Structure 1
Amino acid sequence: MTTAQQQWWFCTRHNTVEGPDTDCPGKDLLGPYATREEAANALEKVKERNEEWDAQE
């Protein structure tokens, strides 16, 4: 698991990558991710997972 200093989130409200000091509420965040790049690709990862789950139905 990553430490708090290494955690990054993607804020769905602001469409921005947020660091460990974010003021955004948890309900708006995807993550945590280990790198800023992973957080930046959060929506693509969600899309891929949804498509995989839809294909299983």
Structure 2
Amino acid sequence: MDERSDQDRWWYCLVHQRVEHGAGCPNKKRMGPYDSEEAASRALTTAAERNSAWDEQEDEDW
């Protein structure tokens, strides 16, 4: 990740179910930071895909 400030980044707010830019809800209530609005808008999908991949890997490891 580059050294841009959080004010230049995008977040997905879990409380309001929307993308935020820069300062917004407390970080513990949002996902990110992301480098683009598009990436932040896909936060829940990205998390679900990663969880599925981890679950599949765990099953293979057993």
TM norm structure 1: 0.88
| Residue-pair matches, total | 56
Structure number with higher relative contact order (C-alpha < 8 Å, ≥ 6 residues apart)? 1
Unaligned runs of 5+ in 1: none
Larger Rg, first or second structure (1 or 2): 2
Give the superposition deviation at 1:29. 1.0
SS, match of residue 56 in structure 2 = helix
- Cα shift readout 1:1-56 (whole Å, capped 9, x = no counterpart): 1522430000111101011021x011111110000000000000000000000001
TM-score (ref. length: structure 2): 0.82
Letter of the 2:16 counterpart: H
Runs of 4+ residues deviating >3 angstroms: none
> Unaligned stretches of 5+ in structure 2?
none
Q: Aligned equivalents of 1:34 and 1:44: distance in 2?
A: 16
Matches within 5 A, 1:21-40: 21-22=23-24, 24-40=25-41
Equivalences for residues 11-50 of structure 1 within 5 A: 11-22=13-24, 24-50=25-51
